[in-house]
Structures are given as structure tokens and as C-alpha cells.
Amino acid sequence: MGVISLSAFDLSLTATLLILLAATSFRLGLGLEKRILVSGMRMTLQLLLIGLILKFLFANASFALVFFLSLFMLLVAGYEVWARQKRKLRGTAGYLISTVSMLVSSFTLAFLALNVIVGVAPWYTPQYAIPLLGMLLGNSMNSVALASDKLTSEMYNMRGVVEQRLLLGQNWQEASSDIRRDCMRTGMIPIINSMAAAGVVSLPGMMTGQILGGTSPVDAVKYQILIMFLIAAGTGFGVITAIFLICRRLFDERQRLVLDCLETPEVNKRF
């Protein structure tokens, strides 16, 4: 049995649920109705656009096209991680750190999986490379953003404690160790919970999609296990990289906590 095609009418029916949610938000005074509607429209346009791009890419597979699309995805993911932080690093440092963290968490593991584990030839085959990279970026992006946001906020809120520990002779690693560990846990807990609940509470998206497409459930499970392991490893390494790089920015060569490199929350007015 093939995949049942969905019509525009079918999608519009589900869109009414989003409109109903926005109306409920307005009625309850949550102030989220605009975000709900705009995000829904943005998501629809983005997915329709990427669908057309992937259709062209699958029909005209080349390393250059896959590379530029992957690079674009990386740059957008880096921006999203940076933009979600309440107290961002000033200038381009915060964006560069976010992008490097996403590079470590997603690109390196995707390259390893495509070449060594899956063994697809050529390794940049878009049907494998783009969905795999997208799943790694999407999942690790949320975790890195959570950990980074918690780190900058905690460093600011607990600056007195950190500075007192520095005055007592501790180096920056020792003075910030408790905060860094808590932030790493915050970033890794979502994927740990996802692994624990997979197959019992929820059926992950890739597995569900493959089953709907006619793939054997056993084969779909194998691919989902592969993806979950990659996401967990990528998330962990990405979070650790982000925490380390941000801390190096927050402490100078004289082991002093430097918070003037952080923007105030009032500056962050991103929708």
C-alpha cells in the first residue's frame, strides 16, 4: 500500500485547529495568538519551499547543491540557537559559537554516518544526506539553545558567587563548574527522555514516516535507533562545545568574569 496523498482541503482542516488554538489564547489573554498564527504560516511556507527545493535536488543531485543547502541549514540553525538566548553575547561571537557548536553536533556525525555506518554511495546522496542532517540539526539546535541560554543567565544571576570563588583563588573552570554541569544537564535531558520514551510512549517521527511509506517496521526501527544514537551523541557534544566556548568568552586571560560582553534582555526583542 502506497502513501495516501493529502489534498489542500485536508491540510486546511488541520489548520482550523491552529486557528482555534489562537482564538483560545486570545480568549484566555495569553498573548500568544499572533505567534501561533505567524509561526504556523511561516512553517507552512518554509516546508512547501523546502519540498520544491528537495524535489529539484533529488532530480539533479550534485555535491555543490547538497553542500550549499547544507551550509544554509547550518547558518540558519546557528542563528536560531543564538537568537533564542535571553542574554546573548554581543557582536558576532555569540553567532559564531552557536554555529560552531551546530557544526560539531551535526555535520561531523552526519558525515560519519553517511560514510562509515550507512555506507551510501556517493555519501552526499541527497535522499540520505539532507534528511539526516536536518534531523540532527533540528534536535541538537533545541538542546544547545537551552544550555546556552541557561549558562548566560546563570552566570549573570550568580555573578557574585562566581566572582567570590575567583577571589578565593579558584580558576574559571573551578568557579563555574557547578553552573556548567547544570547547564549541560539541562541541554541533554530532552534527548535522554526521548530515548527512554521511544517505542513505549511515542513512535519517533522518522520511524513513523518510513512505516507510512511502506518500509518494513523492523527496518524502520533499525534506522530510528541509528538516528537516536546520532542525535544523542551530537546533542551531547554540541552542548559541551557551546558551554566551553561561551565560558571562554565570559572569562578573560586574568581569570576575571566579564559580563559586559552580554546583551541585556531589553535588547533582545526578536519575535
Mean pLDDT by 10 residues, the chain (271 residues): 73 90 91 91 91 86 88 91 86 89 88 86 86 88 92 91 90 92 92 82 68 75 86 91 92 86 62 39
Q: In angstroms, rounded to a whole number, what is the distance separating the alpha carbons of residues 53 and 79?
A: 21
The reply to whether 127 and 187 lie within a common domain is yes
The reply to whether 48 and 141 lie within a common domain is no
The reply to whether 83 and 24 lie within a common domain is no
Q: In angstroms, rounded to a whole number, what is the distance separating the alpha carbons of residues 93 and 263?
A: 12
Q: In angstroms, rounded to a whole number, what is the distance separating the alpha carbons of residues 247 and 230?
A: 26
Confidence at residue 204, expressed as pLDDT on a 0 to 100 scale = 67
Confidence at residue 260, expressed as pLDDT on a 0 to 100 scale = 82
The reply to whether 53 and 68 lie within a common domain is no
The reply to whether 216 and 166 lie within a common domain is yes
DSSP code per residue over the chain: --PPPPPHHHHHHHHHHHHHHHHHHHHHT-S-HHHHHHHHHHHHHHHHHHHHHHHHHHHT--HHHHHHHHHHHHHHHHHHHHHT-SSPBSTTHHHHHHHHHHIIIIIHHHHHIIIIIS--SSTT-HHHHHHHHHHHHHHHHHHHHHHHHHHHHHHHHTHHHHHHHHHTT--HHHHTHHHHHHHHHHHHHHHHHHHHHBTTTB--HHHHHHHHTT--HHHHHHHHHHHHHHHHHHHHHHHHHHHHHHHHHHB-TTS-B--TTBPPGGG----
CB 235 within 8 A of CB 143: yes
- Placement of cell 512505516 in the chain: 211
- Placement of cell 560582553 in the chain: 261
Enter the pTM of the model: 0.80
State the total domains in the chain.
Answer: 2
Q: Which of 41, 60, 79 is the last residue of a domain?
A: 60
The reply to whether 162 and 53 lie within a common domain is no
CA atoms within 13 A on the CB side of 7: 3
The reply to whether 16 and 71 lie within a common domain is no
The reply to whether 34 and 117 lie within a common domain is no
The reply to whether 154 and 203 lie within a common domain is yes
Axis crossing angle, helix 217-250 with helix 126-157, rounded to the nearest 10: 40
The reply to whether 211 and 81 lie within a common domain is yes
Q: Hey, what amino acid is at 59?
A: A
Q: Which of 9, 36, 60 is the last residue of a domain?
A: 60
Could you tell me the residue range of the domain that residue 54 belongs to? 1-60
For the chain, the distance separating the N- and C-terminal CA atoms, rounded to the nearest angstrom, is: 43
Q: Whose CA is closest to 153, among 127, 186, 191, 198?
A: 186
The reply to whether 53 and 83 lie within a common domain is no
The reply to whether 139 and 106 lie within a common domain is yes
Pull the grid cell for residue 145: 539553545
- Placement of cell 554555529 in the chain: 99
Confidence at residue 38, expressed as pLDDT on a 0 to 100 scale = 93
Pull the grid cell for residue 81: 540557537
CB 57 within 8 A of CB 69: yes
